[in-house]
Amino acid sequence: MDKRPVREFEVELPVGYVDEDGRQHRTATLRKMTGREEALLADRKLRRNGGKLVTELLRNCLVRLGELEPVNRHMVAGLSSPDRNYLLLELRKITFGQELHATYTCPFCGETSSVLEELDELPVRRVNGSGPPEIVVELEDGYEDKEGFYTTMVFRLPTGVDEEKTASAMKENASLGMNALLTRCLQGLGDMPANRREALGTKILSDLALGDRARIERTFRQEMPGADLSREIMCEDCGRKFQATLDLTSFFSLS
Ligand SMILES: [Zn+2]
């Protein structure tokens, strides 16, 4: 008799899924992608919203979350973005292997460099203890209105729901899309009352000085759990070095 190939792959989530009873699930079980998922990737309507595409893809390939089975859309959309990205990475590895030919465009000369990425070697930051962490940013210029002056921002981690709701704004204008995403994740701004903060909405992020916006980006980059997708690339053409991010959407191109 032929040996049966492994059909299910258990991975450890960097953050973990918190269910409706507040219980945490730190493992997820994936199966390989099939022709069904290839059809999802080719679906024009889904391709217009990257967040929805990732939700559908993971819903199909997640066998269980902790002991929870089956996995529904609501659960996948409720996972934090670092966990979703990590699951995409693992799905890529079990389906196509851990080597990936990635291309990066040089911001100085516009030429592309191709790099063979070893996905097994990406460092992964995992959350210790219980529950998703908060990300706290101390602003320098801060936010000021007639009621007061505020310098501490507290964010929760973005989730699949946030990705889905902001995907079209992100595509239209990356800066405004980021404002929308961060506004959804903003849990506190100094001692500003929540209703006032919610009424201001994206205005808070738009009004921040560029230095403070860079501070938010830097803090997220440093403290965000999950696989570290940032890289330093040396341009094959002009020899200059630049910072780039490994593009998750390139994971599943079949070429
Ligand atoms: Zn270059």
Q: How do residues 64-86 score in pLDDT, each as one tens digit?
A: 999 999 999 999 999 999 999 99
Q: How far is the C-alpha of 125 from the C-alpha of 135, rounded, in Å? A: 14
**pLDDT of 253 strictly over 70:** no
pLDDT higher at 249 or 171: 171
User: Average of pLDDT values for 165-185?
Assistant: 94
Q: Which pLDDT does position 4 carry in this prediction?
A: 81
| 229 CA to centre of ligand 1 in angstroms | 20
User: Average of pLDDT values for 114-122?
Assistant: 92
Q: Which pLDDT does position 12 carry in this prediction?
A: 96
| 239 CA to centre of ligand 1 in angstroms | 6
Handedness of CA 161, 165, 171, 177 (dihedral sign): negative
- 190 close to 150: Cβ distance less than 8 angstroms: yes
Residues near 109 by Cβ (< 8 Å), separated by ≥ 6?
235, 237, 238, 240
**pLDDT of 28 strictly over 50:** yes
| 105 CA to centre of ligand 1 in angstroms | 8
User: pTM for this structure?
Assistant: 0.91
